[in-house]
Amino acid sequence: MRKPAGPHMEHSGERFTVTVDYGLEEYKQFVRDFLPQYLESRHGNRNRYWPWNWPVTEKAMMFILVPLIFKWKKSKVGVCEFTFSKSGLTRRSRSGSAYRSWDQVPRVHELSTAYLIELDSGGAMPLPYRVLTESQRALFDSFAARAG
């Protein structure tokens, strides 16, 4: 994730910090939830004649490709600590610290088990609902309204 100018983000006002240790099954769920949205936004309605959309291809991807990507990402990033405020977000992980202001977040998607924080650099960060208290989730919603 590209870092904005300056050595770190100053989080002002209300803020909260959560720690996320992702699991393979929840990572698969992020992919199941978001991939159809992503493909539709790129290619329009899903064409079942396109091999990528065949059910057998989707199952193979979930069984082979997604676990490999997850293992690679987990070894690179590990456990993440996120801090959120009205200024933006900070993620601290094995690979270092990264910062984003909310205007560098084009969109926050609400999936079945997580928020997916879309980044202007083309990446994304999932934030599982399971790590948030009810009050943190309400605060996150108010911060995420600044996205875009």
Q: What is the tens place of the pLDDT at every residue in 53-75? A: 667 877 888 889 999 999 999 99
Q: Is the model's pLDDT at 9 over the cut of 90? A: no
pLDDT of residue 131: 98
DSSP one-letter string for the chain: -PPPSSSS----SSEEEEEE---HHHHHHHHHHHHHHHHHHHHSS--TTSGGGSHHHHHHIIIIIHHHHHHHHHHHH-SEEEEEESSEEEEEETTEEEEEEGGG--EEEE-SSEEEEE-TTS-EEEEEGGG--HHHHHHHHHHHTT--
Regarding predicted confidence, which is higher, 94 or 148? 94
Q: What is the mean pLDDT of residues 32-41?
A: 71
| Calpha distance 41→69 (Å, rounded) | 22
Stretch among 13-22, 27-36, 78-87 having the lowest mean pLDDT: 27-36
- Strand 124-128 relative to strand 107-110, pairing: unpaired
pLDDT of the residue at 2: 44
pLDDT score at 58: 77
Q: How does pLDDT run across 97-114, given as a tens digit for each residue?
A: 999 999 999 999 999 999
